[in-house]
Amino acid sequence: MIAQLTTTERQIGLVLALIVTLLGAALGLAGRHDVLAYHGLLIAAFGAVVAIAILRQMDRPEPGEERLSEYYDDPIRVGIVLTMVWAIFGMFVGVWVSALLAWPELTFDAAWASFGRLRPAHTTGVIFGFGGNALITTSLHVVQRTSRARLPDQVSPWFVLLGYNLFCLLAVSGYFLGITQSKEYAEPEWYADIWLVIVWVAYFLLYIRTLARRKEPHIYVANWYYMAFILVVAMLHIVNNLALPVSLGSAKAYSVFAGVQDAMTQWWYGHNAVAFFLTAGFLGMMYYYLPKRAERPIYSYRLSIISFWGITFIYMWAGSHHLHYTALPQWVQTLGMTFSVVLLVPSWASAGNALLTLNGAWHKVRDDATLRFMMVAAVFYGLSTFEGSFLAIRAVNSLSHYTDWTVGHVHAGALGWVAMITFGALYTLAPAMWKRDRIYSATLVEVHFWCAVIGTLIYVFAMWNSGIVQGLMWRTYNDSGTLTYSFIESLVAMHPYYIARTVGGLFFFVGAAVGAYNIYMTIRHEPLPASARLGAARSFVPGE
Amino acid sequence: MIDLDHQSLVAFAKSWGLFYLIALSAGVLVYTFWPANKARFARAKKSILLDKDDKPWR
């Protein structure tokens, strides 16, 4: 991989790695009396490892000019592996943290394994580790193919991919150390946030520069979604993380916002992270890989444009539905609620567009678990956006807010939509990237598919039940006008659902582990012969 | 300097915010259904399936 870089690119890479090492060392020295020292050390070690890797290959011969007549796929291959590594980590912590709610002793009396630290490790691991790497990886593939243009250089894709993973490492290791700014989905502290801004600007420029080299006059719609993802996430990240560090030697920073302004900024960020990280980017994935796999063009290209602008401009105003019945002005709450309901139109336009694309290809959906992953993703996208609009209505929210219903809703989206579309895309992408005819084992894709579907259904049904029971118990009054149930009674009532949720999560995790093995074997080996797949399929029917 | 208090900000958001979103919706619809764009969209729709050789154009 490093031998593929020109000498100049190796030198630039080396300089960048050394700058990161020095910055890490400086940060560690400045923060030597603080937990910041560990992060300084981590950054320095990360930079040093990259620098050493480049140095060891410095004298290798230059790559030939023929590389320019191929796409640049090395970072994509590494990105696929990183995506699956983060999937395993993030989903494992997810199963653990859900088991912790059912069996609190699983924290083993260790501060780092307490719920408050494991939970962000799970959310960051799956959203930013798994989801973010999947988005960066597939976006670099889609932008090259749809533009018919090679990435403009061979350094910036590595800077983006490795730099982003350094951010994820800082985030997750920080939680275990107790470093957090306590903003949901924006927990990392100031130095990690600044680093992400630099990486993200490089990502944006890389994407724009590739598009500028395109042959097609029109930019294919998948790129619009990826661009919206990159651009809006930059904007959200910068505004929500405006903070002043206590000192340059301290991990702690304080937000420039206070009170209800802080809450509104946080949920403007939080909901648009759902919109532009977990929706727009993955819709970009869907608009490329689903038609490609089904070998049918998207049902309506015009509809995809209308829903793009609908999603982009309506989502922006929906965040305040997270703050119903708070100090936020009533009209702002109503605004968020109204836009959330209207949002159903472009959301269902996208889901419908995806499903109608499959008309005429349903036999492929039946036979091909990879395409079925993407079909189920479109269904769950439709279901969870409907549920989202519904939950945003103030009266519904009065029952659902702060209950497990919200958790169920998030996982219908995250497991059913985000993860399913990602696995569909990865199973399409991985064989192509390693020049295989097909994935190592179609049977294992089938196993993964059913584990994922069963796991998601168990999870979501458990949380619907527990959330509604919880919500009802918290609002049941007796004849004397006081609450019928104590909080602890509602907690006890949750116990069976928490166990069920852990079982559902475990199914999903096992499926992802099977997927990681299958992708690993695709990299290492030739695909299994077709006859072996058919024979094996009989003995692998889930539920037997 | 204009005194930007809460009430005037609300009034601005409730009036101009509405017009801006209506204008935007109209703009998007005009762009989407503009006859000259039809061929371009039809081409884009099929383009990803025509990419068989998996090589950049230059």
What's the confidence (pLDDT) of residue B1? 56
Chain B interface test: which of A302, A334, A436 (most B C-beta within 10 Å)? A302
The shortest CB-CB distance from A69 to any of B47, B48, B56 is to B56
What's the confidence (pLDDT) of residue B8? 87
The shortest CB-CB distance from B48 to any of A149, A288, A313 is to A288
What's the confidence (pLDDT) of residue B51? 80
The shortest CB-CB distance from A149 to any of B10, B29, B57 is to B57
What would the 3-class secondary structure string for A421-473 be? HHHHHHHHHHHHHCCCCCCCCHHHHHHHHHHHHHHHHHHHHHHHHHHHHHHHH
What's the confidence (pLDDT) of residue A327? 95
What's the confidence (pLDDT) of residue B57? 83
Q: Does B55 touch chain A (CB under 8 A)?
A: yes
What's the confidence (pLDDT) of residue B2? 63
**B36 CA: distance to closest CA in chain A (Å):** 13
Q: How many contacts, defined by CB atoms under 8 Å, are there between A and B?
A: 71
Q: Does B7 touch chain A (CB under 8 A)?
A: no
Chain A interface test: which of B41, B45, B49, B50 (most A C-beta within 10 Å)? B45
The answer to whether A461 and A507 have CB atoms below 8 angstroms apart is no
Cβ distance A313 to B21 less than 8 Å, yes or no, reads yes
Closest CA to A171 of A257, A48, A42, A16: A42
Q: What is the DSSP letter of A246?
A: S
A4 vs A65: CA distance, rounded Å? 11
What's the confidence (pLDDT) of residue A146? 95
What's the confidence (pLDDT) of residue B58? 64
**A44 CA: distance to closest CA in chain B (Å):** 37
Spatial neighbors of A459 by CB under 8 A, at least 6 apart, are: A408, A411, A415, A501, A504, A505, A508
The shortest CB-CB distance from B51 to any of A148, A218, A222 is to A148
Across the 544 residues of chain A, what is the mean pLDDT of every consecutive 10-residue run?
Answer: 93 98 98 96 98 95 91 97 98 98 95 96 98 98 96 97 98 97 96 98 98 92 97 97 96 95 96 96 98 97 96 94 95 95 97 97 97 98 97 96 96 98 98 95 97 98 97 96 95 97 98 98 86 48 45
Q: Does B52 touch chain A (CB under 8 A)?
A: no
Find, in chain A, the residue whose alpha carbon is nearest to that of B21: A313
The shortest CB-CB distance from A71 to any of B21, B42, B56 is to B56
The answer to whether A31 and A251 have CB atoms below 8 angstroms apart is yes
Write down the domain spans for chain B. 25-51
The pLDDT of residue B6 is above 90: no
Cβ distance A309 to B55 less than 8 Å, yes or no, reads no
